[in-house]
């Protein structure tokens, strides 16, 4: 039997921003520029054009907003804005071993103008094989 060493695959950073700037949250061009800026500022490598789409209201809880996504060589960055609630949810998933969450949070706070946030960083693929198994 061959022993398989396991390593961590990557990091998933999740941020919920509260009290964000309503005008930024509803400005598709501004949001697209954020999807260009963040990978560049974080030393990541953009591999697709950013996409920002308007999503209409779905129910009382979801009054609609804009959703954005960009592929990076390391994985992806996405967000969903809720301008009427001053709320944004953000995900950065990377196959890098670490992420500078303090720098990332400060960057997003500056870009979206939120007044408070909840941040989570979760290791992903904690049993990822260090070698091919097939």
- 11 vs 92: CA distance, rounded Å: 8
| Residue-averaged pLDDT of the chain | 93
Give 45-98 pLDDT, tens digit per residue: 999 999 999 988 777 777 889 999 999 999 999 999 999 999 999 999 999 989
Annotated catalytic residue: which of 67, 78, 80, 101? 80
- 21 vs 29: CA distance, rounded Å: 15
Based on the residue annotation, tell me whether 80 is a catalytic residue of this protein: yes
What confidence tier does 4 reach under pLDDT thresholds 50, 70, 90?
low
Annotated catalytic residue: which of 33, 67, 76, 95? 95
Which residue's entry shows tokens 């007044």? 115
- 10 vs 30: CA distance, rounded Å: 28
What confidence tier does 7 reach under pLDDT thresholds 50, 70, 90?
confident
Based on the residue annotation, tell me whether 67 is a catalytic residue of this protein: no
Q: Which CATH architecture has domain 9-128?
A: 4-Layer Sandwich (3.60)
- Rg of the chain's alpha carbons, rounded to an integer? 17
- 40 vs 118: CA distance, rounded Å: 23
Give the tokens for residue 93: 């998933």
Based on the residue annotation, tell me whether 33 is a catalytic residue of this protein: no
């Amino acid at each position: 039997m061959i022993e398989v060493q396991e390593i961590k695959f990557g990091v998933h950073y999740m941020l919920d921003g509260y009290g964000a700037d309503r005008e930024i949250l509803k400005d598709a061009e501004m949001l697209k520029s954020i999807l260009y800026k963040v990978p560049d500022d974080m030393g990541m490598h953009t591999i697709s054009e950013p996409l920002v789409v308007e999503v209409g209201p779905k129910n009382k809880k979801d009054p609609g907003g804009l959703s954005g996504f960009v592929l990076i060589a390391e994985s992806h960055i996405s967000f969903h804005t809720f301008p009427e609630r001053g709320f944004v949810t953000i995900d950065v998933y990377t196959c890098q071993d670490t992420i500078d969450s303090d720098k990332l949070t400060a960057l997003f706070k500056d870009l979206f103008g939120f007044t408070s946030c909840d941040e989570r960083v979760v290791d992903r693929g904690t049993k990822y094989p260090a070698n091919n198994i097939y």
